[in-house]
Structure 1
């Protein structure tokens, strides 16, 4: 695809669809779903045949090597396990639906199916998932010259011409449309119970700078300097030469789990009431029962309420993350952060432990809910993407070498602390643990494996003053603070 390796960004515009156009789009999305599932099933069939090949079985028992990888790659190609083999597989099916589905869009669907299987083949995913009815959320082309294309402020696709909504005073959209369009995507969303369609234009280059109409200045100016970040499951500590902050991640996001559980219990009751023949006497589902499930109108209504709850949460979270990322970029462009395995933090604890005080077994739950609500990894991805627009990247220090949570720059020693210990004693001065970690990360050496002790001493006094100011602000804020802040 032309321009695939150049920088890209996305412009999303609402489509002004009429009723008859929505019907056609619904049909095309359903065709796309069927093509995707067919490609996925074919990939899995070919993989099963490959597994029964004696050559593959012999290679699977060998130790990893370049020669083994080459032979495995040749075998996968021989059995048609490749992206271009899927393109050839989907071509006859696409011809059957050529009135609704063009060749480029069908090939992109085949590529999506292959990417899902590829992740499964190489151990990046445990399994692949087929798309159920209504789950196909987007369709995209390969270029802006054929298939789904944007021309004259409208989306053109196999006889459809759907205008996009661009406000006259939307300066950002008008500036963005001056860049070359790589390809187009049509996205289907359900908002407040209604299906709406959007055009996503993948544009070449970097996003135009947003301007404040009243002042004429940039809305989100970029700063220069080093910024250290210590990010947790719900909080983020930020340390820059002239700013020290301890903030809650995505503060607009409410804890929806009580409401979510209520709707899930309601769904379960409705499902059991509508399908008594699908359950055993002990309440478990009959596995061998092939009868069709019955979904009542109230069940579908409750299901849509749950989906809308999740959608609002996602929108609030994304908006908060973008605001925070823009503010951090105004502090500096050399941003350092400590690496963290959030997947491991989400998983339940493996070891069974007992509470010494109560004598009861400790819960094995860890940080699954808070990570799902606050999405710290998503925030880092947004921050890194915004940095790349300026030719920078998010610098990740080596957690195991630097040990920012254990290091004391005054004594030069490493001391392990329990998770409940939120304050450090620095020669009689109480320093908040997360803020101190952000301070150490800011002063990490260029190779990102060690803390620069001399820099720590040079910037300590200013950090201490800003730290005390931030702690005082938190104490007098009047807001309910998270327990992990220790304030």
Structure 2
């Protein structure tokens, strides 16, 4: 099925399910998981056969280019490593499961398996994992005409009629439901030791504008420039009229300590009930093939951990959505630096020794980035900008060097990571906020800072900067990286 070129957005509605409906849905999700794993297993077989062929080895040795890509495409079709070939593979399975899984849903499951396997084919990943029991969290159809579909407030799927819950004062949902529905997805989440089911309606168009208490549309400040200096745990925002220096996803930190304590408890319990599964040095003994034994307390704590991680995920997304709306209210011409957060997550490969002769830690920012998810904030901003036919302006980090540039002297000065302030003699400016200010005044070529624009806006920036620093000083606690 060709990818739709029209804009889309998602409306999520809670499903009111009876116990018998939940049992049926649980069964269908597991059948969908079986189809997914079968597709993945078949793709592994076909890929292994492809890699053993002589023609594939010859093509691999060719120079990269259009000719090489064309030959790879021919080989993929020949060995069945294409999406529509997998749709043919699932047909016999779907016929046996037609009372529960319709044709369109089975094809979308196959497409999902193929998209996951593409990461391995195109060397963007090392392995594609099979889904374990209970790990299938969503199924979807292809259109709103057959299979999983929405009609008159209900989601219909092979005899199941699932009522959606829309509150009377939910104006946003009522306006959104007037748009054309492209397809419907049924999603489930593990909440308080049970699965809760939702309908995600993928609608054509852009989300309705929300209204505030005064009846005015909430929206961004059009045609104003904004610079964003995003870090691993904090973000600095500078606009023509205001600045913000804040922690990324602050509500996540409130649960982080509880999660760590439960994880330690789980590890102790597992080691106590499975002493033969570990070596003397504490690592897992892979030669021991006995089944793992888990205590009742372990299973209870594991369920609690799962709930805390879900809450963390919800709070993180909610914090990012609120912050993105705040940023868009300042302006819609947004400048950010290109950053590789995956690179910051990786451990250092080389082993180094410090002055005292001790080994330096190889850890970098893996846990912080996983908790704060800075790239998620940029993705949300990118999505919301698309609704108004705009996108993020990604500045060339290597050429601009916002953290080193001084617009007053027009020079570059390297700074240590723990230097959090720029001393200009007559004033001190917080480093991250100054970087955001420079990014806001970047030229349209995204390769250099507009010095004249910096000089023109500096006094206004300086006044709002001082107000923001005073606000932060009144807070009980700020991240060390802010330097406040």
TM-score range (shorter-chain normalised) is over 0.9
What is the SS of the residue equivalent to 2:169?
Answer: coil
Greater shift, 424-433 or 200-209, is seen at 424-433
Worse-superposed segment, 241-250 or 202-211:
241-250
The answer to whether the 8 A contact 2:220-2:330 is kept is no
Report how far residue 79 of structure 1 moved.
0.5
1:180-329 mapped onto 2 (5 Å cutoff)? 180-212=180-212, 214-254=213-253, 256-275=255-274, 278-279=277-278, 284-329=283-328
Q: Residue 353 and residue 287 in structure 1: after superposition, are their counterparts in 2 closer, same or farther (change >3 A)?
A: closer
State the alpha-carbon separation in 1 of the partners of residues 235 and 281 from structure 2: 47
Residue 379 of structure 1 is matched in structure 2 by 377
Distance in 2 (CA, whole Å) between partners of 1:264 and 1:246 is 32
Contact 1:2 1:182 in 2 (8 A): no
What secondary structure is seen at the aligned counterpart in 1 of 2:251?
A: coil
Q: Secondary structure at the match of 1:253?
A: helix
Alpha-carbon distance, 1:284 to partner: 4.7
Where does 1:334-373 land on structure 2 (aligned, <5 Å)? 334-356=333-355, 358-373=356-371
Q: Deviations over 1:401-448 (max 9, x none)?
A: 111111111111112111111111224421111111011100000011
Alpha-carbon distance between aligned partners in 2 of 1:467 and 1:261, rounded to the nearest angstrom: 36
Task: State TM-score, norm by structure 1.
Answer: 0.95
Deviates more, 1:446-455 or 1:65-74: 65-74
Q: Which residue of 2 aligns with 1:415?
A: 413
Task: Provide, for residues 375-415 of structure 1, a one-character-per-residue CA deviation record: whole Å limited to 9, x for no partner.
Answer: 11001101111111111111111101111111111111112
1:224, 1:331 within 8 Å by CA — same for their partners in 2?
no
Q: Is the 8 A contact 1:255 1:373 kept in 2?
A: no
Distance 1:377 1:281 in 2: 40
CA deviations over 1:117-165 (Å, ceiling 9, x no partner): 1111101112101100000000000000010000010000001011101
Is 1:35 matched with 2:32?
no
Query: RMSD of aligned C-alpha atoms?
Result: 1.8
CA distance in 1, matches of 2:321, 2:283: 44
CA contact (8 A) 1:230 1:435 kept: yes
Contact 1:3 1:182 in 2 (8 A): no
Describe how 1:15-30 pairs up with structure 2 within 5 A.
15-30=15-30
Structure 1 residue 255: deviation in Å? 5.3
Partner of 1:478: 475
Distance in 2 (CA, whole Å) between partners of 1:31 and 1:112 is 15
CA shift for structure 1 position 256? 4.1
1:469 aligns to what? 467
- Deviation track 1:157-202 (CA, whole Å, cap 9, x = no partner) reads 0010111011111100000000000000000101122211000000
**Which has the higher mean CA deviation after the structures are superposed, 44-53 or 267-276?**
267-276
- CA offsets 1:245-292 (integer angstroms, 9 cap, x no match): 211111222254443333223323433455556556765544355554
Aligned length: 484
Change in CA separation of 1:287 and 1:364 when aligned onto 2, cut-off 3 Å = closer
Work out the CA distance in 1 between the residues paired with 2:424 and 2:280: 63
Q: Distance in 1 between matches of 2:127 and 2:386?
A: 32
TM-score, normalising length: structure 2: 0.96
Q: 2:424 aligns with which of 412, 423, 426?
A: 426
In structure 2, C-alpha distance between the alignment counterparts of 1:466 and 1:403, rounded to whole Å: 23
C-alpha displacement of 1:21: 0.4
Instruction: Output the CA distance in 1 between the equivalents of 2:453 and 2:247.
Output: 28
> 438, 441, 447: which is aligned to 2:439?
441
- Once the two structures are TM-superposed, the CA of residue 61 in structure 1 deviates from its matched residue by 2.0
**Aligned position for 2:458:** 460
Q: Are the aligned partners of 1:346 and 1:366 in contact in 2 as well (CA < 8 Å)?
A: yes
| 8 Å contact kept, 1:220–1:327 | no
Change (3 A) 1:148 1:222: farther
Separation of aligned partners in 2, 1:265 and 1:328: 38
Distance 1:68 1:416 in 2: 44
Q: Give yes or no for contact 1:406–1:415 (8 Å, CA) kept in 2.
A: yes
For the 8 Å contact 2:220–2:332, the answer to whether it is kept is no
| Residues 40-119 of structure 1 aligned to structure 2 (within 5 Å) | 40-119=40-119
Instruction: Work out the CA distance in 2 between the residues paired with 1:224 and 1:251.
Output: 29
Instruction: Write the distance in 2 (CA, Å) between the matches of 1:276 and 1:370.
Output: 32
User: What runs of 5+ residues in structure 1 fail to find an aligned partner?
Assistant: none
SS at match of 1:254: helix
Classify the secondary structure of the residue corresponding to 1:164. Answer: strand
> Conserved in 2, the CA contact under 8 Å of 1:337 and 1:441?
yes
Q: Which runs of 5+ in 2 are unaligned?
A: none
